[in-house]
Amino acid sequence: NYDWAEKIYQTTKEKTDWFVENYHDDPDWVNGWGHNYVCDKCGESLTFNRESPRDQVCKVCGHHNTGDKQNNVWNSMYRNQANGSVHNAAILYKLTGDAKYLEHIKKVLQFYLENYERLKCWSPHPKFLGRISGIHLTDAGDLISLLTGMTIVRDELDETFIRELGEKFFIPAAKYLKPFVYYINNIPVWEACAVAMVALFYGLDDLLEWAFKSEYGLINQLEQGITKEKFWYEGSVHYHFYCIAPLTNLYYYMTAMDCQADYVKQMGETLLQMHIMPAELAFENGILPNPNDGWPFLSLAEYAGSYDTMNACFDHPMLKWVCANVYDGRTAKLERTGAPAKSEGGMQRLLFGLNPAEYDRYARPYVGTKLWEDTNFCMLRDGGIEVFLKYGLMTESHSHDDIMNMEISAFGDVISFDLSSNGYGNFLFGEWQRITLSHVTVVADMQNHTKKNRGKCLFFDEKTNHVIAKAEDVYPNIDFTRDQQLGGGKLKDIFTAEDKTGQSHIYDYTFYCKGELEYDFTATPCEPLGDQEGYQHLLNPAKYTTDEDIVLKFVQPDKETKLTIKGEKGTTLYIFKSYMQSINNQRWGIILRREGQAKTVYEVEYEFTKK
pLDDT digits (tens, 9 = 90+) for 582-592: 888 999 999 99
Q: In sequence order, what are the beta bridge partners of 496?
A: 481, 601
In whole angstroms, give the CA distance from residue 59 to residue 67: 17
Tell me what pLDDT residue 518 has. Answer: 97
**Residue 294: enclosing H or E segment and its boundaries?**
none
In whole angstroms, give the CA distance from residue 609 to residue 593: 27
In whole angstroms, give the CA distance from residue 138 to residue 31: 11
End-to-end CA distance of the chain: 42
**How buried is residue 586: exposed, middle or buried, by Cβ count under 10 Å (0-12/13-18/19+)?**
middle
3-class DSSP assignment, residue 596 = strand
Q: Could you tell me where the DSSP H helices lie in 57-170?
A: 68-96, 99-115, 136-152, 159-165
**How buried is residue 342: exposed, middle or buried, by Cβ count under 10 Å (0-12/13-18/19+)?**
exposed
Tell me what pLDDT residue 43 has. Answer: 84
Neighbours of 611 (CB within 10 A): 8
- Average of per-residue pLDDT across 62-82: 94
In whole angstroms, give the CA distance from residue 446 to residue 533: 7
State phi, psi for 447 to the nearest 5 degrees. -125, 155
**Could you give the C-alpha distances from 146 to 32, 81, 88, 204, 494, in angstroms and in order?**
20, 11, 10, 18, 53
Tell me what pLDDT residue 342 has. Answer: 85
Band of residue 581 on the pLDDT scale cut at 50, 70, 90: confident
In whole angstroms, give the CA distance from residue 222 to residue 271: 9
CA nearest neighbour of 225 among 390, 372, 395: 395
- Asked whether the predicted pLDDT for residue 425 surpasses 90, the reply is no
Mention every residue, 6+ apart, whose C-beta is less than 8 A from residue 86. Answer: 104, 105, 108, 109, 145, 146, 149, 150
In whole angstroms, give the CA distance from residue 456 to residue 364: 30
Tell me what pLDDT residue 405 has. Answer: 98
Residue type, 539: L
Radius of gyration of the chain (CA): 25
- Asked whether the predicted pLDDT for residue 423 surpasses 90, the reply is no
- Average of per-residue pLDDT across 343-369: 93
Q: In sequence order, what are the beta bridge partners of 413?
A: 410
237-294 pLDDT per residue, tens? 999 999 999 999 999 999 988 888 888 999 999 999 999 999 999 999 999 999 999 9
3-class DSSP assignment, residue 541 = strand
Tell me what pLDDT residue 487 has. Answer: 98
In whole angstroms, give the CA distance from residue 574 to residue 511: 11
In whole angstroms, give the CA distance from residue 392 to residue 404: 7
Tell me what pLDDT residue 422 has. Answer: 82
In whole angstroms, give the CA distance from residue 105 to residue 87: 8
- Average of per-residue pLDDT across 298-311: 96
Residue type, 607: E
**Could you give the C-alpha distances from 346 to 8, 12, 33, 148, in angstroms and in order?**
6, 8, 26, 16
Neighbours of 135 (CB within 10 A): 26
Q: Is beta strand 442-444 parallel, antiparallel or unpaired with respect to 505-513?
A: antiparallel
- Asked whether the predicted pLDDT for residue 328 surpasses 90, the reply is no
3-class DSSP assignment, residue 595 = strand
Inter-axis angle of helices 136-152 and 99-115, to 10 degrees? 140
445-464 pLDDT per residue, tens? 999 999 778 999 999 999 99
DSSP track, 386-408? EEEEE---S-STT--S-TTEEEE
- Average of per-residue pLDDT across 364-379: 97
Please give the share of the chain, as a percent, with pLDDT higher than 90. Answer: 89
Number of H helices, E strands in the chain: 15, 25
Residue type, 49: N
3-class DSSP assignment, residue 571 = strand
39-61 pLDDT per residue, tens? 988 888 899 999 999 999 998 89
Inter-axis angle of helices 99-115 and 68-96, to 10 degrees? 140
497-551 pLDDT per residue, tens? 999 999 999 999 999 999 999 999 999 999 999 999 999 999 999 999 999 999 9
**Up-side HSE of residue 199: CA atoms within 13 Å toward CB?**
21
In whole angstroms, give the CA distance from residue 74 to residue 504: 51
3-class DSSP assignment, residue 127 = helix
> Is there a contact between 378 and 457 (Cβ–Cβ < 8 Å)?
yes
SS (H, E, C) 328-356: CCCCCEECCCCCEECCCCCHHHHHHCCCH
**Up-side HSE of residue 44: CA atoms within 13 Å toward CB?**
23
Tell me what pLDDT residue 259 has. Answer: 87
**Could you give the C-alpha distances from 112 to 80, 202, 581, in angstroms and in order?**
13, 17, 37
